[in-house]
Amino acid sequence: MKKILLAVTGGIAAYKAIDLTSKLTQTGYEVRVMLTENAQQFVTPLAFQAISRNVVYTNTFLEENPHEIQHVALGDWADAIIIAPATANTIAKLSVGIADDMVTSTLLATETPTFVAPAMNVHMYNNKRTQHNMKILKDDGYHFIEPGSGYLACGYVAKGRMEEPLAIVSIIDDYFKAQQRISTSSFNGKNVLVTAGPTVEVIDPVRFVSNRSSGKMGFAIAQALMNRGANVTLVTGPTQLEDIPGAKMIHVQSAQEMFEAVKDRFEHQDMVVKAAAVSDYTPSEVLEHKLKKQDGDLSVTFKRTVDILKYLGEHKTSQFLVGFAAETKDVDAYAEQKLQKKNADVIISNNVGDQTIGFNSDDNELTMHFKDGQHIYIKKGRKSDLATRILDELETRWQ
């Protein structure tokens, strides 16, 4: 049975915390509750005691068990902590480390994953200080459960309502499911480097050669790996996508920069996934000044870039290598050739001639080609779902 510590702070939404306690216990969680003094202006400890069937904590100095320090033991006991409702005041105290009551002392003395469900007046919520304080907590790894919009006790109809108890329970359920998946995943704790996006090969100060890769496929794989507890390094060319929180982000421009970023880190990786669309050619020389218009045609000479995947295939020790193949015809045959030529363990092919998948689309359709001759076809779907399927297929085979 998972153990939840619920911290109730002083806002009118405290009445919802009684329902939350009830829903959590009905779902099968063991719940202990602590209340600030202000919370007790709205709800009584007795209500929480009756529903949780546990002692309710309100006073740091009421040490009933001489064998432990209550505000330390309580945080250690819990598998997860929920602060609901979380007032602007408690959020502010937490962001600077104030510990002046049972709730804030316990929260400061714990490393247990903590969920924060704010509830307050919309202006308090939007206030720069509150936003700043919430950002500090988010950056420190607190999980925020965004408040909804609706009728607020102050009369405004706006953002600031504490999320409904049922929705909070489902967030907590999902969290524990994700934790379970991490703990049983073969990727948990493994170092995986993913490449994504295009490379940009400069001709002169204003012109370049690149391709239409959006980075979505590689980012989706990196995110799916994060969800399974891998230590992810994401080497990416220029994209419009946001950095993945928790992943080590390396931003590069050219094929040469991507090569160096990958090569420098290769030794420490357990797996490399090369979803980037790396340019095969780069201008033989980079002009210092903008190329002037002239009469007649223009020829630009290109030279080959390093084939990064091939280099990795030639230098791998124990690393598992996953490459991609972007083809417009004879997809399977070319993918098989790449598997051999680049000494990869898997090549994932996609038909990039189909404009509804592949480059710069939210969808893709893939075939995984394994070294033992096996093929796994993954039907058209969202890149995020496909990333999960790819990892499911790799989960047991890659080691």
Say whether residue 213 binds ligand PMT (CB under 6 A).
yes
Q: d(Cα 56, Cα 352) in Å, to the nearest integer?
A: 60
76 in a labelled binding site: no
Beta strands at 114-118 and 80-86: parallel, antiparallel or unpaired: parallel
Between residues 39 and 255, which has the closer beta carbon with respect to ligand PMT?
A: 255
Q: How far is the CB of 359 from ligand PMT (least distance, A)?
A: 5
Token pair 């006991």 in the structure block, residue: 77
Q: Could you say which of 50, 62, 153, 154 is catalytic? A: 154
Alpha helices in the chain (DSSP H): 14-27, 45-52, 70-77, 88-96, 102-108, 122-126, 128-139, 165-184, 216-227, 255-266, 308-315, 331-341, 383-397
Binding segment for ligand PMT among 56-64, 160-168, 170-178, 319-327 (CB under 6 A)? 319-327
Interface residue with ligand PMT, options 309, 346, 378, 387 (CB under 6 A): 309
Provide the mask over 85-124, with x wherever binding to ligand PMT is found by CB under 6 A and - wherever it is not.
----------------------------------------
Helices 308-315, 255-266: crossing angle, 10 deg rounding: 20
Best CA proximity match to 306, nearest among 279, 283, 341: 279
Max CA-CA distance within the chain?
92
Kindly identify the residues of this chain, within the stretch 266-305, that bind ligand PMT according to CB under 6 A.
274-278, 280, 305
Between residues 2 and 310, which has the closer beta carbon with respect to ligand PMT?
A: 310
Between residues 48 and 208, which has the closer beta carbon with respect to ligand PMT?
A: 208
Q: How far is the CB of 206 from ligand PMT (least distance, A)?
A: 24
Please count the CA atoms within 13 angstroms of the CA of 181 that sit on its side-chain side.
17
Between residues 31 and 387, which has the closer beta carbon with respect to ligand PMT?
A: 387
Between residues 355 and 396, which has the closer beta carbon with respect to ligand PMT?
A: 355
Beta strands at 248-251 and 231-236: parallel, antiparallel or unpaired: parallel
Q: d(Cα 333, Cα 349) in Å, to the nearest integer?
A: 10
Interface residue with ligand PMT, options 85, 147, 165, 323 (CB under 6 A): 323
Q: d(Cα 151, Cα 163) in Å, to the nearest integer?
A: 13
Kindly identify the residues of this chain, within the stretch 327-386, that bind ligand PMT according to CB under 6 A.
338, 350, 352, 358-360
Counted residue by residue, the chain has a size of 399
* Binding annotation for CTP: 280, 290, 324, 338, 342
Q: Which residues are catalytic?
A: 154
Q: Which residues bind ligand PMT (CB under 6 A)?
A: 197, 213-217, 255, 274-278, 280, 305, 307-309, 323-326, 338, 350, 352, 358-360
